[in-house]
Amino acid sequence: MLMLLDFGLTFYSVSEGLTYELNSTFAWAFDHGLILSLLIRLAFMAVVLIPFYLWARRRRNYPKLVRLALIIESVVCLLHLQWIVPLVTI
């Protein structure tokens, strides 16, 4: 869910001209609309999350790895909010 929130915040800020996307793949996708962007994001999530899950579930410290991943993605979402909220209120 956090990765989709990150996608939504990024798409909104880029489409409104509040910021720009540094990742060239997503910058291209954002230029081609929401549906294509979302499909690419979902594919990217599968490429990242499935190997992580397969690798991490074999570790006895799996809960700690999941918490770490959630913390990292939460920080990314908070950074997006920090950039977007002041720009929207201007």
Question: What is the rounded distance in angstroms from the CA atom of residue 15 to the CA atom of residue 34?
Answer: 9
Q: What is the mean pLDDT of each run of 10 residues along the chain (90 residues)?
A: 79 82 85 90 84 80 80 81 65
What is the per-residue pLDDT for 86? Answer: 67
- In sequence order, which ranges of the chain are alpha helices (DSSP H)? 2-15, 24-31, 34-56, 62-88
Q: Are 80 and 18 in contact (CB under 8 A)?
A: no
**3-state SS record for 71-90:** HHHHHHHHHHHHHHHHHHCC
What is the per-residue pLDDT for 26? Answer: 84
Question: What is the rounded distance in angstroms from the CA atom of residue 9 to the CA atom of residue 11?
Answer: 6
Q: Is the pTM of this model over 0.75?
A: no
What is the per-residue pLDDT for 35? Answer: 92
